[in-house]
Chains A and B, each alone.
Chain A
Amino acid sequence: MTYIPHTDADREAMLKAIGVERIEDLFAEVPAENRFPELHLPQGKSEMEVAWEMGGLASVNAAVNEYAVFLGAGAYNHFVPSVINHILLRGEFYTAYTPYQPELSQGTLQAIYEYQSMMCALTGLEAANASHYDGATSLAEAVTLARAHYRGKRKKVIFSPSINPQYRAVARTYHQGSGMKFVGDKGSATIPDLIDMLDEDTALLAVQYPNFFGQIDDFNGLADAVHEAGALLCMVVDPIALGMFKSPGALGADMAVGEGQSLGIPLSFGGPYLGFFTTTMKLVRKIAGRVIGETVDKYGRRAYVMTLRPREQDIRREKATSNICSNQGLMALAASVYLSLVGKSGLRRVAELSYHKAHYAAQQIDALEGFSVDFSKPFFKEFVVQCPKPVAEINDALIEDWGIIGGYDLSKDYAARENQMLIAVTETNTRDEIDTLVEALRELAEA
């Protein structure tokens, strides 16, 4: 039997000790008419057969190690140093549970404490939690924090329309029963437009930085206006961009949330990823999820432990602001290892490489007949291209004829953005790949 060590002699001895004849006798309290139903599943397979079957399924997918990829929109093909996978495969890390018993979990606890410290450094805020499920649920929990902060009395949330559409949708799913109402993101509101929407009922204003279109908005006066209205400011950020751009803390944000997948986590068809969440010490007691703090053990030795526990669901039950329990702890470890490896200078380097390559690609594409790039604001590693034909059509040709996974079709989320492609370029894209993309687009425009 697979992964079950019992021998016939073991079973016999154990049943005798329990005082029953057969294992079936232990299920006497299960309604007899429903007991032991047929399961229509395939026969169990040997390890070899499992590997064959799954290898077959994997092989039909177009993986980014065989294609040039210019698709981003919330998940990015950044470089993942080899060390990370080797650390994640330490059984002591990945087969451990939540560190409720600090004496047996100092490894996990210290690694997460270091993760919190590095996320604080990155975002310029003072406190981080041990992770959420992904960037989208981090934003939803920012709304939860704002709601709790105002004890449900302020009900309005202002979302910039240039926040990732999926994130906005997830926040709405989360809050369909909480009484919060969402405004601001139905049209094409600018930052000043969003500021105009602030009022006494506003709990939170959220923007994305760089925004969904890769651009850096002008946030001058934003934080002051939000705080004057008595509300909180949340920024959805790309952690790689924070290697070169000013931190949300420096811009006056009360919370910075986002997707940590770029920090050493593979694309993996959308998950598991890493929702990060940082805030101020003033708000930390309203933060959802696990938080690791430094302390000492009984000998006075430095040690780490889960803290601010009374906020959490297992203690506070129906009064907890969030039900989160399992998080993405191992992915936070990946981010710790990544940020340690790249360090102070390497993160800047990854950011600048992405920036330079994206700008090279943008200039080349903008020079093509029929294509134009939106240069109206500074951008980081993604940019919007107005194309001469539907994006889906271009992408079909790119993958079939050129081995290229093209950019994101913005018309899927923004009806006004017909024929607009969001292109992402990272340090993993070579000049050769970029030149091939440019050549492909040139030919496609002419075809």
Chain B
Amino acid sequence: MTELHIQTNDAPPPLEPLIYELGAPGRVGVNLPEPDVPTADLPDAALLRDEVDLPEVSEQDVVRHFVRLSQLNHAVDTGFYPLGSCTMKYNPKINEDMARLPGFALVHPLQDPETVQGALALMYGLQQWLAEISGMSAVSLQPAAGAHGEFSGILMIRAYHIANGEPHRTKIIIPDSAHGTNPATTSMAGLQAVEIPSDANGDVDLDELRKVCDENVAGMMITVPNTLGVFEAHIKEIVEIVHEAGGLMYMDGANMNAMLGVIKPAELGFDVMHYNLHKTFSTPHGGGGPGSGPVAANDKLRPFLPGPIVDVVEQGDEDTPPLYGFVHPPQSIGPLKAFWGNFGIMVRAYAYIAAQGADGLREVTRHAVLNANYIRVALKGTYPMPFDRFCGHEFVCEGHWKDAPGIHALDISKRLMDYGIHPPTNYFPLIVPEALLIEPTETESKESCDNFIEAMLKIAEEAHENPELLHEAPHVTPVGRVDEVRAAKQLNLCCRPVSHE
């Protein structure tokens, strides 16, 4: 450290210096070789810069800095993470090892397909498995995240209507309980989001749906089970109404962890959907990414998939394996990113599905739903719940009480941190006041669920008896509540003055 952080006012010292505050001029963290070729003349000095303002630290400085930073995080590997709609399940370690095999990690994306047949076989296999899980007829692995998959799907719906001579179909119907990505995706594709309300049971209001279903409907986006955690009671009717109006059905697959081996979206009538490999199929969230959001379509929409996708280009026989290659779907909306998708994430998901098999996947969903209902029932008498019905893999309760004025979902969330638990998703879905969306996942044990229940019940007591404890929470985290207003007003996104040399 170049300088000690001496307290010059009342402010406590930072938890960890910035990397720029470490090290010393001239220090380097990596040893690079001398050139083994004759050096060339450098280009005209007018094209060159003086230096880049980067840190000057040793290898050990770097390791200690980032390890210390890591210790400031809560993660699935350190504790319970019941974050609704995010499926923070355990990330198996073998998946990480498989993604790092040199034959996967050290392969260039533009190599001749004949030199990467193992990688292509893996992608082909994963496409087939995902298609089987949803009942869809084809999958593109290209989208890099759930929102990217949604964007693909909505562009496909748009392209379908244009190809059919119906470019006026520009309305996408979205329930008011939807993820924010749904309306944002719709606008990004140049279509109009039309919001419809949910009824008192948390289901789509069928009358409202009929009202907006006219000749301008392009389709509908819906999450199954919905973002309130319940299976829509009239899902098949909803699909029928939209189809009759000439629209197509998009399924947001964020909640697939409640569907594996339980129901196939294609059998419900969905035309196109995405998966989140980083939710349902155990690939890690990486502190915000990378994820992977493959998109699947039925026969009607498969020609429009983003490409390329992997297919068998030469059939094999008993002696030779099939030859895999990239093909472009005939009416493809185009490529969604460079190359083929987040391949390293596909490898992890492949390892997971291979380990689970058909029966294992069904057990995943059965136990995810068991855990969620177990917690729901335990909290039912204490936390207000908008709906009293079985939930899928998650459920929503309300973080407020009439007899505990001033207590909000946020306070409960922050207090949970003191119990070593990451808060549930809060203030989503938007239609439930003070929402707490709780998703335990199947990888948590009964003890882990019990521990959470106990903490939640204790917090409810505290909320009534000692509300300050909640308002001041968290008490034991590395930092206290942070000043978000100051962050936005005194915008500081970069710790160095920028030089335009």
Whether B103 contacts A337 by the Cβ 8 Å rule is: no
For residue A126, CB closer than 8 A to chain B, the reply is yes
Q: Are B116 and A247 in contact (CB under 8 A)?
A: no
Q: Are A93 and B133 in contact (CB under 8 A)?
A: no
The residue from B20, B96, B428 contacting A89, defined by CB atoms under 8 A apart? B96
Binds B, one of A28-36, A182-190, A192-200, A224-232: A28-36
- Asked whether B187 is an interface residue with its Cβ less than 8 Å from the other chain, the reply is yes
Other-chain contact of B389, A29, A38, A66, A111 (Cβ < 8 Å): A29
27 contacts between A and B (CB under 8 A): A3-B282, A14-B449, A19-B377, A39-B132, A42-B357, A58-B118, A86-B63, A94-B284, A104-B417, A110-B69, A124-B501, A136-B335, A137-B144, A166-B338, A173-B334, A245-B48, A246-B501, A272-B144, A272-B342, A273-B338, A313-B180, A316-B184, A327-B145, A341-B62, A342-B30, A344-B55, A378-B44
B369 touches A (CB below 8 Å): yes
B200 at the A interface (CB under 8 A): no
Q: A92-B75, A246-B47, A268-B104 are in contact. Are A170 and B336 (CB under 8 A)?
A: yes
Q: Say if the beta carbon of A235 comes within 8 Å of chain B.
A: no
Q: A416 at the A/B interface (Cβ < 8 Å)?
A: no
| Residue-wise interface mask of B (12-46) relative to A, using a CB-CB cutoff of 8 A (1 in contact, 0 not) | 11111011100100111110110111111011100
> What is the 8 Å Cβ interface bit string for chain A, positions 228-254, against chain B (1 contact, 0 not)?
000000000000001111110110000
Using a CB-CB cutoff of 8 Å, which residues 433-459 of chain B contact chain A?
A: 442-446, 449
Q: Which residues in A have their C-beta under 8 angstroms from that of B47?
A: 216, 245-246, 378
B4 close to A (CB within 8 Å): no
Please determine whether A107 and B355 come into contact, CB atoms closer than 8 angstroms: no
Nearest first, the 3 A-B pairs at minimum CB distance are A177-B190, A58-B103, A44-B357
* Chain B: minimal CB distance from A50 (Å): 5
Closest to A361 in B: B37
Contact code string B464-485 (vs A, CB < 8 Å = 1, else 0): 0000000000100111111110
Cα A81 to Cα B57 in complex, Å, equals 14
User: Given A290-B288, A295-B482, A307-B484, do A95 and B91 touch, yes or no (CB 8 Å)?
Assistant: yes
Q: Is A368 part of the contact surface with B, judged by Cβ < 8 Å?
A: no
Q: Which residues of B lie under 8 Å from residue A440 when comparing CB positions?
A: none
Query: Closest approach, in angstroms, between the C-beta of B39 and any C-beta of chain A?
Result: 5
Interface readout for A420-443 with B: 1 if CB under 8 Å, 0 if not?
Answer: 000000010011001000000000
A272 lies within 8 A of B290 (CB) = yes
List of A residues within 8 angstroms of B370 by Cβ: 6, 11, 14-15, 18, 23, 26
Tell which of B53, B108, B286, B335 touches A344, judged by Cβ atoms closer than 8 Å.
Answer: B53
| A266 & B105 in contact (Cβ 8 Å cutoff) | yes
Contact in complex: A1, B363 (CB < 8 Å): yes
Q: How many of B's residues come within 8 Å of A, CB to CB?
A: 212
Closest B residue by C-beta to A77? B108
Scan residues 486-501 of chain B and give those whose CB is less than 8 A from a CB of chain A: 486-488, 490-496, 498-501
Q: Is B303 an interface residue (CB 8 A)?
A: no
Q: B397: CB under 8 A from chain A? A: no
Further contacts, 9 of them, CB under 8 A, given A128-B494, A328-B144: A17-B377, A30-B231, A93-B287, A118-B55, A179-B190, A293-B487, A301-B13, A315-B180, A405-B111
> Are A269's CB and B104's CB within 8 A?
yes
CA distance A282 to B243 in the complex (A): 46
Taking CB atoms and an 8 Å cut-off, the chain A residues in 261-294 that contact chain B are 266-273, 281, 284, 290-294
Q: Separation in Å of the A341 CB from the closest CB of chain B?
A: 4
> Chain A residues near B92 (CB, 8 Å)?
3
Q: Please give, as numbers and ranges, the residues of chain A lying within 8 Å of B417 by CB-CB distance.
A: 101, 103-104
Contact call B267/A18, Cβ cutoff below 8 A:
no
Q: Is A64 an interface residue (CB 8 A)?
A: yes
Q: Using Cβ atoms and an 8 Å threshold, which residues of chain A touch B342?
A: 133, 271-272
B255 contacts the other chain (Cβ, under 8 Å)?
A: no
B144 engages A405 (CB within 8 Å) = no
A291 to B488, CA, bound (A): 10
Interface centre among B119, B181, B288, B363 (most CB of A within 10 A): B288
| Shortest Cβ distance from B343 into A: residue | A269
- Report the bound CA distance from A87 to B94 in whole Å: 17
Contact A322 B188 (CB under 8 A): yes
In contact, B233 and A29 (Cβ under 8 angstroms): yes
- Shortest CB-to-CB span from A409 to chain B, Å, is 9
Taking a contact as CB atoms under 8 Å apart, the answer to whether B30 and A81 are in contact is yes
Residues of A within 8 A of B119 (CB): 57, 61, 269
Closest-CB distance, A142 to chain B (whole angstroms): 14
Report the number of A-B residue pairs with Cβ-Cβ less than 8 Å.
Answer: 717
Closest Cβ neighbor of B479 among chain A residues:
A297
Partner of A107, one of B32, B73, B357, B389: B73
Q: Is A54's beta carbon under 8 Å from chain B? A: yes
Q: Are B73 and A106 in contact (CB under 8 A)?
A: yes
A291 and B493 within 8 A (CB):
yes
Give the distance to chain A from B439, nearest Cβ to Cβ, in Å.
12
Chain B residues with CB under 8 A of A169 = 334-335
Q: Is the CB of B493 within 8 A of A27?
A: no
CA distance A30 to B255 in the complex (A): 14
Residue of B nearest to A69 (CB): B108
Q: What's the Cα separation between A203 and B422 when bound, in Å?
A: 43
Write out the residue numbers on chain B whose beta carbons fall within 8 Å of the beta carbon of A57: 103, 118-119, 121-122
Q: Contact at A295–B484, with CB atoms within 8 Å? A: yes
Residue from B26, B67, B369, B493 in contact with A292 in the complex, judged by beta carbons closer than 8 Å:
B493
> How far does the Cβ of B227 sit from chain A's closest Cβ, in whole Å?
12
Contact yes or no, A54 B146, CB < 8 A: no
Taking A271-B341, A355-B40, A378-B43 as contacts, is the C-beta distance between A27 and B360 under 8 angstroms? Answer: no
B296 on interface, CB distance cutoff 8 Å = no
Determine the chain A residues whose CB is within 8 A of the CB of B284 once the complex forms: 94-95, 330
Rounded to whole angstroms, the CA-CA distance of A352 and B75 in the bound complex is: 40
Of the listed stretches B81-89, B209-217, B311-319, B399-407, chain A binds B81-89
Whole-angstrom distance between the alpha carbons of A136 and B481 in the complex?
Answer: 37
Complex: A317 Cα to B360 Cα, angstroms? 36
Contact of B264 among A34, A85, A144, A272 (CB under 8 A): A34
Name the A residues within 8 Å of B70 (CB-CB). 87, 90, 92-93, 107
Set of chain B residues within 8 Å of A299, measured between Cβ atoms: 11-12, 479-480
Interface residues of A in 318-368 (CB under 8 A from B): 318-331, 333, 336-337, 339-350, 352-353, 355-357, 359-360, 363
Given A14-B370, A164-B338, A330-B289, A43–B66 Cβ distance below 8 Å? no
- B101–A39 CB distance below 8 A: no
Residue B345 at the chain A interface, CB threshold 8 Å: yes
Chain B hits for A177, CB < 8 A: 155, 158, 188-191
| Contact among A42, A321, A324 with B354 in the assembled complex (CB-CB below 8 Å) | A42
Q: Write out the residue numbers on chain B whose beta carbons fall within 8 Å of the beta carbon of A384.
A: none
Answer whether residue B353 sits at the interface, using C-beta atoms and an 8 A cutoff.
yes
- Cα–Cα, bound, A106→B18 (Å): 12
